[in-house]
Structure 1
Amino acid sequence: MAHRLFFIISFIGVPLSVLGSIMHWNEIILFVIYCVTIVALAGIMGRATESLAIVAGPRIGGLLNATFGNAVELIIAIFALREGLVEVVLASLTGSVIGNLLLVGGLSFFVGGLKYKRQSFNVYDARHNSGLLIFAVVLAFVIPAIFADRMNKADTMTLSVGVSIILMVLYLAALYFKLVTHRGVYVTKGQEEIEEHETAEWGKWKAIFILAIATVAVGYVSENLVHTFSTVGEKFGWTELFIGIIVVAIVGNAAEHASAIVMAYKNRVGVAVEIAVGSSLQIAMFVAPVLVILSLFMDHRMPLIFSIPELVSMVTSVFLTIAIMNDGDTNWFEGLTLLGAYVIMGIGFYLL
């Protein structure tokens, strides 16, 4: 039902987006149309990627999920970067990390916990992801911010590029570790059964065609969405920081959020955790470094330097998530704790 709704919204939303941009409609109305359309297109992209992952096999499938899992945020961020909205891009990266960990994780645990007293997932995966989260967010994001105080702009950019390359190399190594050298080593029997019985909804070529069309459409709508940020910010009193952390992050991740919650409700909380934590790792270790490298070829360069509120929010989100998930067991109260932390941060960023 939800998938059909995504197609209907996309078929209506994309033509409206084109018509609205040509005829210069009210930018607030256009902002709403663009956001809703991107959410629907992201849902279709997720569906196509899932089918391709099953058809191509687990190893290539994992790589496809890694590539397209955060494609929408990456596309929006590239256009924002081209417009010189570096603060919005950094804020959207922050929003994606805390949104995936606290909002997606929290809602998944809360909704699943209302139906089941206890939900368990692979504790080895949780511990592996915990180490990567600490490396990516606590180490690789905090070090440049501290060192930048004693560096000029050129040196800060050099440090950012160096850290970005290391993050991408380690991310690719982590994929190789999980999908090749240690595939199945830490998998429980329940997970193996689920993998064996998965069937692709669409054929390979159909999925590739739909994915290509949806990606092009997202690119077009995202470019127009970026142009509405200043008007929307002035109208509602939102700062670039708030737009990036809350609005862009939620729009870019909406379809993924829904998938995680549905999985938790079906008692497949391990998949929900993989979506929430895996997506945060993709943002921190792949999307952010790619944007830093791409900015070298643009008019506005983006060093990997986050503000103190952004850093504190990400670091505390990581440690709270690790504290809750490291036992491989969860319930509705732990979900509510994560949601409470997200609301506190949301209020803080709104008032900044």
Structure 2
Amino acid sequence: MTLFKRREREREPASDSTRNKDIGEKTGVSSASPPSDGVLPQYNHNGDEVTAGIHPDGESGRRGFQPIQFFRIIWRSSCAVSSWVNILWPFVPAAIALHFIHGDHHLWTFAINYIAMVPAANLLGFAGQEFARKLPKVAGVIIETTLGSIVEIVLFMVLIAKDNGTGETGPGNKIQVIQAAILGSILTNLLLCLGFCFLIGGIKHKEQKFHAAISEVGSGLLLVAGFALMIPSAFFSSLIGSTVTGGEGYTEDRLRNDTLSISHGVSIILIASFVLYLLYNCVSHDNIFAEVLEADEEADRDRHHDLQKAKLTMTECIIAIVLALAMISLIAVFLVEEIEYVVEHGVPDNFLGLILVPLVEKAAEHLTAVDEAYDNQINFALYHCLGPSIQTALFNAPLVVIVGWGLGKPMDLNFEIFMVVLLIVAILVVGNFLRDGASNYLEGGLLVIVYIIIAVTAWYYPNSELTTSNGRSSTETTGEGTEALVKIARMMMS
């Protein structure tokens, strides 16, 4: 059965009653595109007349904003699991109200805002998905992925704006949290999300095969991005032992300035790499990715149900995106303001950035990816796992460095060696699992286990004011840190 079936229509214009009767009888028949002669209308699978420039799969059959239908579709969300998240909506007004109530309830404020971020991010993800349906396949998936990463960008921007700008370790320094959140976001997508996709999809389908065009390009880009993110840390760790305190020579202040300058340069290069990645996906090789994703849609177990669902109009998509962004921005500000109190009450800042922040910002997107794997759309699921990781490494992380540069904040890419090791090893493990072009529940379970081990270790990792592994506070461990980075470089080259 083909995705779209063309229906022969008579050239003579039909009356309104005859046309409505025909549309009612043609449920399940779709049209790929408007006719070239521009005379006769074309209809999609639901009998809705296709609008020029709108993909038939995304045609809603309505115009403008209809509140009742709008809220009904939003509540339904993209899948059953994602719709369950909507029961958390009462936490959103509660989180906003709690922020303005005076009193010592910082931990409660953080917890309520943390939960409230999930339905708000879910709304943004669903609105992005509805918007993506109306566009060509590859462009739609990339825009959907970009909108899903806006939550992360907003959190990064709020954190860098709240940083005290001194670069000194302490409560006012948010750079450590940002750096941990950058790597934590990549690890969450590569290990937790991809692991659950392989696990759930493997249990349902035993083995799922994916296309090399997605897996090889994704793993290759991640390896390059991991190498680029490692360079400033390697530079700092290898030279900190040779610095002098005061007088002439290569001082620690000069080393920090050089590391910051290297981070600025690497960030600009990474953003250029992201633009190159977009051109590869959307312009030069878009036909390859379109064919892969369209074949994945054919393999969807419940595609016929998905096509028959009511859809948002273009106006409603924009309204939903704006509303979601407004709520996410407010919740992000309230959440960041309580981070200091959470850290003071026993939650390590590395655990906060590496585990807690990425989990809440990616929760809705992960549910969508797992649902796709369950429906045998493993290429879509893989794209939604690797795509956000690539965007975080090539765009979101460099963007916050450049914004910090403009604000005069010493935001750099000098990560803790512990976290750099986690990132590179995770990329190597995932790349090894992607090499054979197939996945099963064993590989998925192993990825989830690796993530749990990282989470347990991050909980016991000390805060930056106590000790560091990249030579910021002590030069006695410099040799070990440099040696660890050399071993990582050798692993990447092999």
The answer to whether TM tops 0.5 is yes
Change (3 A) 1:59 1:112: closer
Corresponding position: 1:231 with 2:341: yes
Question: Quick one: which amino acid aligns to residue 17 of structure 1?
Answer: A
- Tell whether the 8 Å contact from 1:58 to 1:179 is kept in structure 2 after alignment: no
Structure-1 residue corresponding to 2:218: 129
Does 2:218 match 1:108?
A: no
TM-score computed with the length of structure 2 as normaliser: 0.67
Change (3 A) 1:40 1:229: same
Q: Of residues 2, 17, 34 in structure 1, which corresponds to 2:95?
A: 17
Tell me what 1:158 maps to: 261
Q: Give the residue type in structure 1 aligned to 2:155.
A: I
- Which of the residues 181, 188, 194 maps onto 1:92? 181
- Check whether the contact 2:138–2:282 (CA below 8 A) recurs between aligned residues: yes
Give the structure 1 partner of residue 366 of structure 2.
257
C-alpha separation in 1, matches of 2:269 and 2:321: 30
Q: What's the offset of the Cα at 1:94? A: 1.1
1:173 matched to 2:173: no
After TM superposition, what 4+ stretches of structure 1 lie above 3 angstroms from structure 2?
1-8, 186-189, 191-200
Q: Does residue 1:330 correspond to 2:439, yes or no?
A: yes
- Alignment map for 1:193-212 (pairs within 5 Å): 193=298, 201-212=311-322
The 3-state SS of whatever aligns with 2:286 is coil
**TM-score, with structure 1 as normaliser:** 0.93
State the alpha-carbon separation in 1 of the partners of residues 317 and 235 from structure 2. 45
Structure 1 residue runs of 5 or longer lacking an equivalent are: none
**3-state SS of 2:279 partner:** helix
What's the CA shift for 1:312?
0.3
Map residues 1-352 of structure 1 onto 2, 5 A cutoff: 1-10=80-89, 12-24=90-102, 26-58=105-137, 60-84=139-163, 85-137=174-226, 139-149=227-237, 150=239, 152-185=255-288, 187-188=291-292, 190-191=295-296, 193=298, 201-235=311-345, 237-352=346-461
Distance change (3 Å), C-alpha of 1:111 and 1:63? closer
Q: What is the deviation of 1:214?
A: 0.6
| Secondary structure at 1:141 match in 2 | helix
Distance in 1 (alpha carbons) for counterparts of 2:139 and 2:200: 31
Task: Kindly indicate whether the alpha-carbon contact (under 8 Å) linking 2:184 and 2:355 is maintained by their aligned counterparts in 1.
Answer: yes
TM-superposed CA distance for 1:56, in Å, is 3.0
Q: Shift in Å at residue 191 of structure 1?
A: 3.2
The Cα shift of 1:48 comes to 0.6
Q: Deviations over 1:180-233 (max 9, x none)?
A: 111123644623747998858211111011101110110011000011112222
Residue type of the alignment partner of 1:345: I
Which moves more between the two structures, 226-235 or 312-321?
Answer: 226-235
Q: Deviations over 1:278-313 (max 9, x none)?
A: 111111011000000000122522111111011000
Q: CA RMSD in A?
A: 2.0
Q: Which amino acid aligns with 2:214?
A: D
Give the whole-Å Cα distance in 1 for the aligned partners of 2:377 and 2:270.
30
SS at match of 1:184: helix
CA distance in 2, matches of 1:324, 1:8: 36
Q: Secondary structure at the match of 2:436?
A: coil
Q: Is the 8 A contact 1:144 1:305 kept in 2?
A: yes
**1: CA distance between counterparts of 2:186 and 2:391?**
9
- Cα gap change, 1:3 to 1:103, in 2 (>3 Å): closer
Between Structure 1 and Structure 2, the one with more helix by share is 1
Q: Structure 1 residues 103 and 215, CA, compared in 2 at 3 Å: closer, same or farther?
A: same
Distance between the aligned counterparts of 1:60 and 1:125, measured in 2? 15
Report which structure shows greater RCO (CA 8 Å, sep ≥6): 1
Tell me if structure 2 keeps the 8 A contact 1:82–1:299. no
Q: For residue 334 of structure 1, report the CA deviation from its aligned partner.
A: 0.4
Residue-by-residue CA offset, 1:217-269 (whole Å, 9 max, x unaligned): 1001100001111222232x221111000100101111111111111111111
Q: Specify whether residues 259 and 63 from structure 1 end up closer, same or farther in structure 2 by C-alpha distance, changes over 3 A only.
A: closer
Q: For structure 2, which runs of at least 5 residues remain unmatched after alignment?
A: 1-79, 164-173, 240-253, 462-494
How many Å separate the matches in 2 of 1:128 and 1:191? Answer: 18
Q: 1:302 to 1:106 in 2, by over 3 A?
A: same
Contact 1:3 1:44 in 2 (8 A): no
Distance in 1 (alpha carbons) for counterparts of 2:269 and 2:126:
31
Name the amino acid aligned to 1:88.
Answer: V
How many Å apart are 1:14 and its aligned residue?
A: 2.6
1:99-149 deviation per Cα after TM superposition (whole angstroms, max 9, x unaligned):
110000111111111111111111221111111011001x11111111134
The CA distance in 2 between the partners of 1:331 and 1:59, in whole Å, is 26
For structure 1, which segment, 237-246 or 141-150, has the greater mean C-alpha deviation from structure 2 after superposition? 141-150
Question: For 1:313 and 1:328, how far apart are their aligned partners in 2?
Answer: 24
Amino acid at match of 2:322: A
- Deviation digits for residues 43-102 of structure 1, max 9, x if unmatched? 110111111112133354244224312111111121111222000010011111111100
| Matched position secondary structure for 1:296 | helix
Identity %: 29
Q: Give the count of matched residue pairs.
A: 349
Secondary structure at 1:185 match in 2: helix
Mark the CA change 1:3 to 1:332 in structure 2 (over 3 Å): closer, same or farther. Answer: closer
Instruction: State the alpha-carbon separation in 2 of the partners of residues 323 and 2 from structure 1.
Output: 30
2:82, 2:364 within 8 Å by CA — same for their partners in 1? Answer: no
The 10-residue stretch of structure 1 (77-86 or 306-315) with the greater mean CA deviation from structure 2? 77-86
Q: CA deviation at 1:36?
A: 1.2
Provide the rounded CA distance (Å) in 2 between the counterparts of 1:299 and 1:181: 38
